[in-house]
Structures are given as C-alpha cells and as structure tokens.
Chain A
Amino acid sequence: MSLNRKLGIVDLSTNEIEIKPIPIELRKKFIGGRGLDMYLLYNHTEPGIDALGPDNVAIISAGLLSATLSSASARTHVAAKSPLTGAVGSTNMGGFFAPEMTWAGFHHLMLRGQAEEPVYIWVNDGEIEIRDASHLWGLSTRDTQKALQEELGSEVQVLCIGPAGENLVRYATVMSGMKNAGGRSGLGAVLGSKKVKAVVARGTMDVEIRHPEEALEYDYEVMKHISGTKFAQIMGKYGTMFIQSVTNSTGLVRTQNFQHNQLLDAEPIECEHIEDYTFGTVGCFGCIIHCRHRYIVDGIYDEGPEYTAQGAFGWEVGCNDFETVLMGNHLVNHWGLDILETGSMMAWAMELYEKGIITDKDTGGLKLEWGNTDVVLELIRQIAFREGIGDILAEGPKRAAAKIGKDSLKYNIQVKGMSNLHSDERPTPALALGIATGTRGSDHLRSRPAIDLYHLPVSVLEKVYNNPVEYKGTYTSDYRDYEGKPWQVIWHEMMYMAIDCVGVCKYHCTFLSPNLMKFEHISKFLHYNTGLELSPRDVWDVAERCYNIERMFNIREKFGRKDDMLVDRYFDEPTTRGLEIVRGRTLDRDKFNGMLDEYYELHGWDENGVPTQETLERLGLDEEPSHLL
C-alpha cells in the first residue's frame, strides 16, 4: 500500500545509497509530497548554504495518493533551496513520473553531494543505481528522454534537465515528458550543479488500495462531478489559455513588463486559435480533464501552450501573434527553462532598453523592441546557453539587476527575487497579498484566491471559506476590496498545500472553480485509498504545519516582513487600461500593510512574520529540526 513506499537517499559525492521506511508518525504530521519534502529540506540543510553547492539537497517526490484510485494523482514535487531566491525552492509538475516512481517502491528521493561527472539515477523495483550520463550531457530535454527510453525501454518515465539546467540558469526547469515542467525556483540548476542529468523510474510494485470498492465508487462520484463543471469542460477544450479571455478582457494582465495592464487588439492570441494547430488533447495520469493540446507549428510538435505561454511570449513582450506563443513554448520546454521567469526577464530587459538603461552595446546589437518575434525567440536561446545579454538575464531578477545597475531593479516585477506571473494585481488586493507572501517568491500557485475574481455572493464565500475552520470576520464579493482577503489567502495556502501533499492536480481542487475538491474530499480519498485516518480539520492542520515549516526555512535564511512586499510600482503607478472597474488603480500602501498585519495575526506569527513559540507548539514544530528521517 501507499504507506509502505520509501525514502531513497543518494549521496553523489560518495556514491552511497540508503533506503529508509517513512515512519507513520511523519505521515500523520506531513502526509507526503510537498509537505514531507519540506520536512526533509528543513532537516537536511544548514542555513546559508550555497544553493548550487554540495550541501544543498534535491528532493523528488510523489504525493501519498500517487498511483491510487484518486483522480489526477499524477503530480511530482521537487524541493531544494532555490538558487534563484535563496528561499525555499518548490516546484510541481504533472505527467506520469510520480506514479512510476511509486510503483518502483519510492515516494521520496533525496539527492545530496555532487557527482564529479554527469550521472543519471535509475530507480527500479526497490533498487537505486547511479549510472554514467556523459553521453546525455548537452542534450535537450526531449532528446534526453528519447535516449533513455531507447536504453532502458519505452515504459520508463524520465525526469531530466536540459542545457539550461546544465548551464546553471537560475530558473532552469526539471522536465518530464514533452511539457511537464517543474518550472519555478530554478531547481533544474540544482540538479545541474550536482551533475544529475536525469532520474529514471520504472516499477511493477503494485499499490494496494485499502478499501478498493469504496475508493473506486468515490472516485467515480468525484470525477463525474468534476467533469460536469463548466470549468472542466472549458479546460478540456482550451486548457488554461481560457483564463486570458477573462483577465486580458478585464485588464488584469501586465503588459510590456508593467507599463500597461492589457494587450490591446489581442484577438490573434485568444485561446480559440489553438484549433488551427491542434490535433487533440491529452491528460496526465488518471486525469479526465485533458487540458493540454498536442500541436504542430512550423513542423515542430509540442504540447500546451498554457496561459503562462500566452503571457510570456504574448502580452508581456507585446507580441500579438499566436505562432510566437507556440514556438516560444516549444523552445523553453526543449531547453528546460521556466517559461514564466523567461518571459518576465525578457519583458524587463525590453523596458530597460526602451528607457535607455541598456543599449545596443549591452545587447550585442539585438534590438529589444516590443513585439519583435525574432528577438524574443533569440533571447530564449541566449538565456538557455548563457550567451550575450542572455548570460546576465539567466541570473534572475536580483543578480541581473545588480550587474546592470542604474536603478534597473525597480522596474523588475518580483518578490523575494522571483518574477511574478504575467498578471496585474493592482486592482485585486487579495491576489496581491498572495503573491507578496508566497514562500517560494512571487507566486500564483501557492495561495492565489483566484475565485475572488468571480464576484461570488457572500453566502457562497461563507460556504467555501468557513470550512473546516471558521472565520469570524466578514467577506466581500468585490475583488477590489481589502476586507476578508487575508483569510481567503490563508485558506488557499492550506488548500494548495494539502493537495500538494497528496500529489493531486490543483485544477481538481478549489482553485479556479468553487465547485471542486476541498478538505473533506482529501480526507475521504486518504481513508479509502491508504487507510490513513485524517479528518478534514486534520488535513488542514497538516497543511498549516507544512506551510509553517516552509516559513521557518525562510526565516532561517533571514527572510521576513521586508520580503513580503511588492515593488513600489504597485503602489505608485496607476493602471492605464481595461474596464472602468480596474482602470486608474494602485494598491493602497496603508491598507496593504493592514492586510499583512491581519494575515500574520491569523497565522499566529508576530509582526515580522515569524511563527510565535505558541504557534510552533500548537503545530508540533517546536522541536524542529527533529531528524526523525
């Protein structure tokens, strides 16, 4: 059964391999996936280490529901200290790798030390080997996977890095399949620093389901419900690109870096155009939504694109051309770059060029002008291979700004050194607070209360957000308000942490629709599939514990209130475009700080955002690091 899957520890400096069972008391406290990864990260690293040095660890995991009768239990999580931010590094991808690693007998794999020559890790039916990968070094993510499947059989699942990871681009991805990208936090560079080109899994060790008939029945009921929602039907046709219909139409995207909040005349990059390039949609393991298209552009075959591709290679860089979006999406997947960070860094460079802060001399003659497709595609290549201006941009917001100087950092839209999604939160305080406080940096996937945009009635908000913990404050339906929003952010932090612990896709939980999975669903899935008895409130408590250990990691690395803050442009520059309800808006600095105070108080943190002793005791974290594993 799921609870007997193990932790494999690989020391790349000494070639020692250790396999350990995961104690049930840790399962009850952290469940698995992202939560247990964070326990391991906090326990196996020292403060102040070099994220690209041998003392960092890279942890690859499956959630506790991986490969069970739970819909969309496909997610792989990767954790390490981030070389981009110096804060907690955390990234998550779909596909088929996590179930295969589970069938191979493992839920967590921790890599430490550094190999002298390129290696890959072979995980197969309870065994782990370190193998030579010198023949793979330099290959793209797709060619690496193809080579390993030819070597080990077509049924293996591969998680790998591309040239960007090898070149230590600080926002390099780990990739599996054509488009499953662990994009954020730069953890591909951590694998590159360890000379780990890939981890390959193949397993035939069945996962015993604790209550199989009930699990099947319950999964069917949940899947039927999910597939009937408007959200799932639209996702199944257009993928996440459908979001652009709402956000760009309203004026909630950031365009030309942060100068505008809407791409005008954006019809050419609307999601409906995918129908001219697609030949069908595909899904991850156990998923009924199938949110990704398989498409061909210029004879090149790829999957996606997602909303972030439209942002990165569309409205951010001023390109109103769908084929640029498709080709940009392909290149970042191929070379292993975070699509979001890549697009943001390019847009930032373009604004610097427009303002004369960088010139042709800095760019090697490349005209970084808005809407220049050729420049966009060339910049992606230069970043991946660290050539020309790309070598500077590959360093991420803060380091690149330090190299360029001249006030360049103030134009970069980042939090904790990580670029924000291609969205504009000036009209939406709840979403702004979420990105400001995200543990891994500016982040839409760790707390975003996206349903706040739907103007839901207060009665619906109460039904969603008063479970399983009651909130005694008031809610407002208007996404421009400040009231009640800190609690919404916290509720989503817990929701997303819980779903990441079990390894289920966020699009199956209350993220973009209020009608999807919540804490009680996770509680039931765990009961039927694993026999782990956790009430909805227990699941919340686990999530809160895991979120706090992420926070503790950051506090240990000297992050605090000053880092839970947006750049000045959010407060000083009004939005220029969009519907009247969002036009001319800035965030109110005093009200934002008021939200931050309330957010800390609700969390049980002090005024600097540090968990109080009472909070640590309540969550059973007061003796961490406990070194139980």
Chain B
Amino acid sequence: MVKKSVSDKQKASDRIGEVRCLNCFYRYKVPPGADRFVCPECGWEWRVSWVNPELAKVRGPMWDKMRF
C-alpha cells in the first residue's frame, strides 16, 4: 500500500492554509488569500505570503510593532 503524503494528510484533515504563530505556536487557519492575521491566542499580528493557493507561510512581523 502506498503511504499518504503529508499534503494528502493535510487535505484530508482540512489543514490547508494553517500556519503557526511564531510567538505562541498556536495553529491558525489563515483565510484563503489573506495577507496578514492576528493570532487569536496571543494577539501578535503577522504578515503572510502564499507558496501556492493551499500553502500559506508567515512572511514576517508588522515591523512598526516590533519595537522595544
């Protein structure tokens, strides 16, 4: 039997568009095509890019908020 690939498993489990917040590691499903999201767990806002229509990645923080 041929094993399911990771992408097959993701499709089966409806994890398309899911990214992890780099601050708290919460898994969040980014709406298709969205270019940013606010983590519902910790409130950090991230910019997003899409590797393909099904695969989102965190692109970077909102740099104007990355101040100390």
Q: Chain B: which residue is nearest A456 at the CB level? A: B25
Interface of B is mostly: mixed
Does A249 count as interface, using CB distance less than 8 angstroms? yes
Contact with A along B9-28 (1 / 0, CB 8 A): 01000000000101101000
Chain A residues, Cβ within 8 Å of B44: 579
Q: Is the CB of B55 within 8 A of A270?
A: no
Known A227-B5, A249-B22, A270-B60; contact A262-B66, beta-carbon cutoff 8 A: yes
Selected contact of A455 from candidates B25, B52, B68, CB within 8 Å = B25
Chain B residues 45 to 59 lying within 8 A of chain A, measured CB to CB, are 46, 49, 51-52, 55, 57-59
Does A77 count as interface, using CB distance less than 8 angstroms? no
Q: Is the CB of A245 within 8 A of B7?
A: no
Known A221-B2, A245-B60; contact A581-B7, beta-carbon cutoff 8 A: no
Q: Is the CB of A225 within 8 A of B55?
A: no
Q: Is the CB of B57 within 8 A of A249?
A: no
Q: Is the CB of B49 within 8 A of A272?
A: yes
Minimum CB–CB distance from B28 to chain A (whole Å) comes to: 14
Known A229-B6, A237-B51, A272-B49; contact A580-B57, beta-carbon cutoff 8 A: no
Chain A residues, Cβ within 8 Å of B8: 228
Chain A residues, Cβ within 8 Å of B51: 233-234, 237-238
Does A242 count as interface, using CB distance less than 8 angstroms? yes
State the CA gap A577–B66 with chains docked (Å).
Answer: 8
Contact with B along A238-270 (1 / 0, CB 8 A): 100010011011100000000000101111001
Chain B residues, Cβ within 8 Å of A381: none
Q: Is the CB of A230 within 8 A of B6?
A: yes
Does A224 count as interface, using CB distance less than 8 angstroms? yes
Minimum CB–CB distance from A236 to chain B (whole Å) comes to: 8
Q: Is the CB of A249 within 8 A of B55?
A: no
Selected contact of A264 from candidates B22, B25, B55, B66, CB within 8 Å = B66
Minimum CB–CB distance from A377 to chain B (whole Å) comes to: 26
Q: Chain B: which residue is nearest A515 at the CB level? A: B6
Q: Is the CB of A229 within 8 A of B63?
A: no
Known A266-B63, A583-B68; contact A233-B23, beta-carbon cutoff 8 A: no
Minimum CB–CB distance from B8 to chain A (whole Å) comes to: 6
Q: Is the CB of A250 within 8 A of B22?
A: yes
Known A250-B22, A267-B60; contact A576-B68, beta-carbon cutoff 8 A: yes
In the complex, how many residues of chain A place their beta carbon closer than 8 angstroms to a beta carbon of chain B?
Answer: 33
Does B32 count as interface, using CB distance less than 8 angstroms? no
Q: Is the CB of A242 within 8 A of B66?
A: no
Chain A residues 11 to 62 lying within 8 A of chain B, measured CB to CB, are none
Does B31 count as interface, using CB distance less than 8 angstroms? no
Chain B residues, Cβ within 8 Å of A250: 22
State the CA gap A15–B36 with chains docked (Å).
Answer: 64
Contact with B along A415-456 (1 / 0, CB 8 A): 000000000000000000000000000000000000000110
Q: Is the CB of B57 within 8 A of A234?
A: yes
Q: Is the CB of A221 within 8 A of B3?
A: yes
Q: Is the CB of A234 within 8 A of B59?
A: no
State the CA gap A129–B16 with chains docked (Å).
Answer: 56
Selected contact of A580 from candidates B20, B23, B59, B60, CB within 8 Å = B23
State the CA gap A267–B62 with chains docked (Å).
Answer: 9
Selected contact of A245 from candidates B3, B59, B66, CB within 8 Å = B59
Q: Is the CB of B58 within 8 A of A249?
A: yes
Contact with B along A516-556 (1 / 0, CB 8 A): 00000000000000000000000000000000000000000
State the CA gap A262–B49 with chains docked (Å).
Answer: 20
Minimum CB–CB distance from A435 to chain B (whole Å) comes to: 22
Chain B residues, Cβ within 8 Å of A228: 5-8
Does B33 count as interface, using CB distance less than 8 angstroms? no
Chain B residues, Cβ within 8 Å of A249: 22, 46, 58, 60-61
Tell me which of B7, B20, B58 has the highest count of chain A C-beta atoms within 10 A of its own C-beta.
B7
Chain A residues, Cβ within 8 Å of B55: 230, 233-234
State the CA gap A237–B55 with chains docked (Å).
Answer: 11
Tell me which of B23, B52, B55, B57 has the highest count of chain A C-beta atoms within 10 A of its own C-beta.
B57
State the CA gap A225–B9 with chains docked (Å).
Answer: 11
Q: Chain B: which residue is nearest A227 at the CB level? A: B5
Chain A residues, Cβ within 8 Å of B63: 264-267
Minimum CB–CB distance from A351 to chain B (whole Å) comes to: 21
Minimum CB–CB distance from B35 to chain A (whole Å) comes to: 11
Chain B residues, Cβ within 8 Å of A577: 66, 68
Selected contact of A225 from candidates B3, B23, B52, B61, CB within 8 Å = B3
Q: Chain B: which residue is nearest A251 at the CB level? A: B66
State the CA gap A236–B58 with chains docked (Å).
Answer: 16
Minimum CB–CB distance from B45 to chain A (whole Å) comes to: 12
Minimum CB–CB distance from A387 to chain B (whole Å) comes to: 37
Chain A residues 561 to 604 lying within 8 A of chain B, measured CB to CB, are 576-577, 579-581, 583
State the CA gap A182–B50 with chains docked (Å).
Answer: 32
Chain A residues 52 to 105 lying within 8 A of chain B, measured CB to CB, are none
Chain A residues, Cβ within 8 Å of B68: 576-577, 583
Q: Chain A: which residue is nearest B68 at the CB level? A: A577
Q: Is the CB of B25 within 8 A of A229?
A: no
Tell me which of A242, A270, A576, A579 has the highest count of chain B C-beta atoms within 10 A of its own C-beta.
A579
State the CA gap A248–B8 with chains docked (Å).
Answer: 30
Q: Is the CB of A246 within 8 A of B58?
A: yes
State the CA gap A517–B59 with chains docked (Å).
Answer: 27
Known A228-B6, A579-B23; contact A233-B49, beta-carbon cutoff 8 A: no
Minimum CB–CB distance from A42 to chain B (whole Å) comes to: 40
A224-B2, A228-B5, A237-B52 are known contacts; what are 4 more A-B pairs with Cβ within 8 Å? A225-B3, A227-B5, A266-B63, A579-B22
Q: Provide 7 A-B residue pairs closer than 8 Å at the C-beta atoms, listed in order of the A residue.
A: A228-B8, A234-B55, A249-B22, A249-B46, A266-B60, A579-B22, A579-B44
A-binding residues in B (CB < 8 A) = 2-3, 5-8, 10, 20, 22-23, 25, 44, 46, 49, 51-52, 55, 57-61, 63, 66-68
